Amino acid sequence: MGNTIFQKRLFTAMMCFFMVLGMTLYNIILHSGFGLHVLTDMLKELWIVYAVALVLDLFLVGPLAKKFVFSVIKPVSKPAVVLSISTCMVFCMVTLMSIFGSVMASGVSAEAVSGYPSVCIRNLIAALPLNLLIVSPLARALFMFLFPELREERIDTEKR
């Protein structure tokens, strides 16, 4: 989303931040319950996880997901392309970030390897609806608020 490199990078950073925030909260609550520790634990973990996720998103997953989607489907409609790219990115990011989370929690160990499939499935169950139903609409609305000229440009394009 966006016309300039800055706008595209900003949108990616926003999407990544909201996804990391949501998934970090989900995993902390899943593993240690809900309580006062959630906020402090989240603030400790959020930034390193965000940095790793953003680098993966910008330089590996984003380009590969787009290349894959455009090689598999014909761009019939913009919503179909956006939905396909978002879904592909969720699968890829969950796969990679679950490895990162398992290693962060257990180190490089047999426990991390044996627990990885269940961690990956639990994260996918949360990440897909989080992305499609909450984060994507929220990030798009915030982005359009920050760049109202894009909203007007989009409306003009739809009228044609």
pLDDT tens profile 17-42: 999 999 999 999 998 888 888 888 88
Number of independent structural domains in the chain: 1
In a domain, 8, yes or no: no
Query: Which amino acid is located at 21 in the chain?
Result: L
Q: What angle do CA 69, 98, 114 make, to 5 degrees?
A: 125
Residue 71 in domain: yes
Instruction: Judge whether 90 lies within some domain.
Output: yes
- Supply the pTM of this predicted model: 0.89
**Token duo for residue 78:** 């913009």
Confidence of residue 78 (pLDDT cuts 50, 70, 90): confident
Full domain range(s) for residue 73: 13-159
Establish if 111 belongs to a structural domain: yes
Alpha-carbon distance values, 78 to 9, 52, 63, 81 (Å): 19, 29, 18, 5
